[in-house]
């Protein structure tokens, strides 16, 4: 791709890595292009909770001066960090006035690993308060500023879609990575629970909290999967759509899918069949129908523990929903919580058994396109997978009737993350060659 320097922000991370290697431009030149893009777009998109251009330029210059043999696999790649993940050189405010002046001198495990790999820790992306509430931050959907970018990783999703950065980190306890990925028309990955360390990020639910990643291509997801050492592909055989076997999982929530999502699900099934895949509609056993309730009971009771600290500091500054968690006003008891946790745990090996019969399962990422306003949307199609600990990749490529992006989820058994990525790459190609939705940004 031949781009003027001012347009370098359009490149994916994979493209930037190749061009930095061949000496086409400097890291500093590249980040200046991103900063110009942000300067132009940030007043509309509001993706950032914090970024400091001079600190970014400093990091870029230091990397430009790093000898080639000392450069890491993400040399010069800027990454946005959701503002519930600690960064030793920036504030972490959780979108809460309680943490207005909070600057933990501490890198989360993910941030530390990214720095060692040569990434530029670009800034903090806007989040719904504590990555826990349904009201988003000020961030707007770059495809239509009247709409939500989804959440809680709102800024990460919008910043990547709007080409402020090629990559970003998010977190998911319900649907906080997959939903904004779908609404913003980008790739998002929630790996297997426990596969990436959550050390150094705010805890909401210890049994569900998962680090997630955003990118504009499946190859870019791969970069982060490798740096974070995701596993789960014992074969080296390249994956092919032809001869593969996909499950279509409409789930018990299917009646909540809007027409746009229904059409996207039909489209992918048709395309996969056209290219030689078997596609079967699969119904989950009745035990799986309560997953959404059990997930809710668990996060409610976990929230009572996780936000008790903030409640003791300044109850009046805590979002009302979190106050209700702490005051246990939802009426869920410890015994409800234990049943919920134990029931979910029982279903994990069972979903693995079901999913192992397929190349991957395809299921909605969101009810439909991003809604108007500041509510981040429903996690109804996400929370069951978060509860079940399986890897999920949102792939974009579908359009709603009014031209907004719609994504779908690829799901596979726990610890098959790398294999699922291979599937995502082929699905990406399939949609590109069939003229799927493309960003107008």
Catalytic residue among 112, 153, 154, 176: 176
In angstroms, give the least distance from the CB of 108 to a second copy: 9
CA distance 395 to 425: 9
Catalytic residue among 33, 96, 112, 152: 152
In angstroms, give the least distance from the CB of 38 to a second copy: 27
In this structure, how many other beta carbons lie within 10 angstroms of the beta carbon of residue 198? 18
| Residues of the shown chain interacting with a second copy in the complex, contacts defined by CB under 8 A | 86, 102-106, 109, 112-113, 116-117, 194-199, 202-203, 206-207, 229, 231-232, 302, 305-306, 308-309, 312-313, 334-335, 337-338, 342, 345-346, 348-349, 352, 414-415
Sign of the Cα pseudo-torsion (121, 122, 125, 130, in order): positive
- Expressed in percent and rounded to 5, the helix, strand and coil fractions of the chain are 45, 15, 40
In angstroms, give the least distance from the CB of 70 to a second copy: 14
> Contact, 214 vs 188, CB < 8 A?
yes
In angstroms, give the least distance from the CB of 228 to a second copy: 8
> Based on CB atoms, which residue is closest to a second copy, 116 or 245?
116
Active site residue 82: yes
Active site residue 176: yes
> Based on CB atoms, which residue is closest to a second copy, 148 or 301?
301
In angstroms, give the least distance from the CB of 299 to a second copy: 12
Closest alpha carbon to 237 in 419, 10, 56, 378: 419
> Based on CB atoms, which residue is closest to a second copy, 144 or 199?
199
> Based on CB atoms, which residue is closest to a second copy, 160 or 420?
420
Strand-pair partners of 65: none
Per DSSP, the residues of 38-103 read: HHHHHHHH--EEEE-HHHHHHHHHHHHTS-GGG--TTTT-EEEEETTB--TTS---TT-GGGTT--
In angstroms, give the least distance from the CB of 194 to a second copy: 6
CA distance 51 to 168: 13
> Based on CB atoms, which residue is closest to a second copy, 344 or 404?
344
> Based on CB atoms, which residue is closest to a second copy, 423 or 427?
423
CA distance 175 to 299: 12
Per DSSP, the residues of 263-328 read: HHHHHHHHHHHHTT-EEEE----GGGGGHHHHHHHHHHHHHHHHTHHHHHHHGGGS-HHHHHHHTT
CA angle, corner 304, sides to 124 and 154, nearest 5? Answer: 25
Q: Report, as residue numbers or ranges, the catalytic residues.
A: 82, 152, 176
């Amino acid at each position: 791709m031949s781009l003027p320097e001012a347009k370098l922000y359009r490149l994916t991370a994979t493209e930037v890595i190749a061009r930095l290697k061949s000496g086409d431009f400097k890291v500093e030149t590249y980040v200046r292009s991103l900063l110009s893009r942000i300067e132009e777009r940030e007043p509309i998109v509001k993706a950032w909770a914090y970024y400091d251009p001079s600190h970014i330029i400093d990091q870029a210059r230091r990397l430009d001066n790093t000898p080639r043999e000392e450069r890491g696999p993400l040399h010069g790649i800027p990454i946005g960090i959701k503002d519930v993940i600690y960064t030793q050189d920036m504030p972490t405010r959780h979108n809460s006035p309680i943490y207005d002046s909070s600057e933990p001198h501490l890198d989360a495990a993910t941030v530390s690993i990214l720095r060692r790999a040569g990434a530029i820790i670009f800034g903090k992306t806007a989040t719904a308060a504590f990555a826990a509430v349904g009201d988003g931050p000020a961030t707007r959907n770059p495809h239509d500023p009247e709409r939500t970018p989804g959440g809680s990783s709102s800024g990460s999703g919008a910043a990547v879609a709007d080409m402020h950065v090629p990559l970003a980190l998010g977190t998911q306890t319900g649907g906080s990575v997959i939903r904004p990925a779908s609404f913003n028309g980008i790739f998002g990955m929630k790996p297997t629970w426990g596969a990436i360390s959550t050390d150094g990020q705010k805890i909401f639910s210890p049994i569900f909290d998962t680090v997630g990643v955003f990118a504009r291509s499946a190859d870019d997801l791969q970069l982060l999967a490798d740096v974070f050492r995701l596993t789960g592909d014992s074969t080296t055989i390249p994956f092919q759509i032809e001869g593969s076997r996909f499950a279509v999982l409409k789930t018990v929530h299917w009646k909540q899918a809007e027409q746009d999502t229904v059409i996207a699900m039909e489209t992918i099934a048709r395309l996969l069949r056209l290219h030689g895949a078997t596609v079967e509609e699969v119904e989950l056993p009745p035990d799986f129908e309560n997953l959404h309730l059990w997930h809710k009971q668990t996060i409610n009771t976990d929230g009572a523990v996780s936000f008790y600290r903030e409640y003791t500091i300044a109850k009046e500054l805590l979002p009302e929903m979190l106050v209700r968690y702490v005051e246990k006003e939802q009426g869920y008891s410890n015994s409800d919580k234990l049943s919920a946790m134990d029931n979910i745990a029982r279903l994990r090996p069972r979903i693995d058994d079901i999913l192992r019969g397929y190349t991957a399962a395809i299921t909605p990422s969101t009810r439909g396109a991003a809604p108007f306003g500041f509510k981040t949307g429903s996690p109804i199609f996400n929370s069951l997978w978060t509860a079940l600990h399986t890897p999920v990749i949102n792939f974009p490529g579908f359009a709603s009737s009014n031209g907004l992006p719609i994504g779908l989820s690829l799901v596979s058994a726990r610890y098959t993350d790398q294999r699922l990525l291979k599937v995502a790459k082929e699905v990406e190609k399939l949609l590109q060659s069939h003229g799927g939705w493309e960003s107008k940004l």
